[in-house]
Amino acid sequence: AQTVTQSQPEMSVQEAETVTLSCTYDTSESDYYLFWYKQPPSRQMILVIRQEAYKQQNATENRFSVNFQKAAKSFSLKISDSQLGDAAMYFCAYRRFAGGTSYGKLTFGQGTILTVHP
Amino acid sequence: EAQVTQNPRYLITVTGKKLTVTCSQNMNHEYMSWYRQDPGLGLRQIYYSMNVEVTDKGDVPEGYKVSRKEKRNFPLILESPSPNQTSLYFCASTETGLALKTQYFGPGTRLLVL
């Protein structure tokens, strides 16, 4: 079974600075997807960024980028120029590539609470 | 607007009183699932459905039931709620197929069982 671990329960950053959230995962599969979700105080789940394991290039979405290290099974999220609106719980998640009945299932990490100081 | 809706959004109940949390999506998605979110544990899948009349257990199915009689609806049933089912519940849906499809989440239902 796949597992996802976020070892940082809480992180903080100053506004306009850069912060990196860590995520490691365990899988025996070679193809899969990885995601970062943001959960603001409203509790809504918002997709931040996604990475296909077969792509070597790290995904980037504006101020958000990932460092995907497939051999190390590491998937960190870097937030540049942090803004007050970035304050939220962040979840790392894994999804199987395709096939089988569990392909649509997301396996989540424990979450990291990010605080942004003005 | 593509969306997943859940009702109710907040619910306080007592142990043993049957309840149903509804979930509906307007995107004609085949795959729907329920997750519960607990502090320090992230989100865990309770049940999922690949299509109408096709449901199966996720990682934490004990104490829950589901049904999928229509493609758009996937209710979560707690026949005899217990305090350990106090949690934040999310319904999600997505298309099936080999290509990666966006997974849509509902707004969440916060349940307190006394």
How far, in Å, CA of B88 to CA of B11, rounded?
10
Residues of A in contact with B94 (CB under 8 A): 104
CB spacing of A9 vs B42 below 8 angstroms: no
Max CA distance (Å), chain A = 47
| pLDDT on residue B95 | 83
Search chain B and give the residue with CA nearest A39.
B107
pLDDT digit string, tens, across residues A93-105:
999 876 666 667 8
Distance (Å) of CA A91 to CA A30, B26, B28: 22, 26, 27
| Bigger pLDDT: B100 vs B35 | B35
Band of pLDDT at residue B98, cut at 50, 70 and 90: low
The answer to whether the beta carbons of residues A86 and A114 sit under 8 Å apart is yes
How far, in Å, CA of A113 to CA of A10, rounded?
5
CA distance to partner chain B, nearest, from residue A110 (Å): 4
How far, in Å, CA of B15 to CA of B7, rounded?
20
The yes-or-no verdict on residue A18 having pLDDT over 90 is yes
